[in-house]
Copies of this chain bind each other. A is one copy, B any other.
């Protein structure tokens, strides 16, 4: 782990080192640990450069946040080519992927907590982007399928996603059970995933039945 930064001076590289330092500190210390001195020290550079290159700590932090892109892949990666089941399979995969993206991803977990705690423009932008990505899928895939039940689907999936988020954040700090489930353990993770899949199946089955009725 001997960091072999090539010698010499380079503005762009230094800027990147500062941005990286923000990420590293966010992961290890949380957002309260993003102090000018510490960022500079972590980057192995002088703090003056933060002001020189970014104007302020806040600009640096915002630029770091904006550079992140945790969610865009959720839309691309796995929207199946053709949807014939009203998105049932897709919904399940999407939920499981959301789970996996978050699981053990300290940086993202800390970022989401930060977003829950502070209403910072750049953080809200992250939330908005995730919401926008989701909205495309909802509007194009599930809304048409569910028709008058579209809102029920949205509420249901919303709860499930929110549940995934909270559970992972909870597990990140409190190495602890939640409702007796320990999702720091592989077994607990599987339990949650099973429950998610099961709930989606139950929901779809129920809606199908309701549709039949009239």
Residues of chain A having any CB pair with chain B under 8 Å: 30, 32, 113, 115-119, 124, 127-128, 131, 134-135, 138, 151-152, 154-167, 169-170, 172-174, 176-181, 191-192, 194-196, 198-199, 202-203, 206
A151 pairs with B191, CB closer than 8 A: yes
Alpha-carbon distance A118/B157, docked complex (angstroms): 28
B116 pairs with A152, CB closer than 8 A: no
Alpha-carbon distance A164/B138, docked complex (angstroms): 21
Instruction: Label chain A's interface by main secondary structure.
Output: helix
Which residues of B have CB within 8 Å of A30?
A: 117-118
Q: What is the distance, in angstroms, from A193's C-beta to the closest C-beta of chain B? A: 9
A167 pairs with B176, CB closer than 8 A: no
Alpha-carbon distance A127/B138, docked complex (angstroms): 34
Q: What is the distance, in angstroms, from A34's C-beta to the closest C-beta of chain B? A: 12
Considering the complex, give the chain B residue whose CB is closest to the CB of A155. B195
Copies of the polypeptide in the assembly: 2
Q: What is the distance, in angstroms, from A156's C-beta to the closest C-beta of chain B? A: 5
Q: What is the distance, in angstroms, from A94's C-beta to the closest C-beta of chain B? A: 11
Alpha-carbon distance A125/B209, docked complex (angstroms): 45
Which residues of B have CB within 8 Å of A170?
A: 116, 127, 162
B202 pairs with A206, CB closer than 8 A: yes
18 residue pairs from A and B, CB less than 8 Å apart: A116-B169, A117-B173, A124-B174, A127-B176, A128-B176, A155-B191, A155-B194, A155-B195, A156-B195, A158-B163, A158-B178, A158-B180, A158-B181, A159-B167, A159-B192, A162-B178, A163-B166, A198-B203
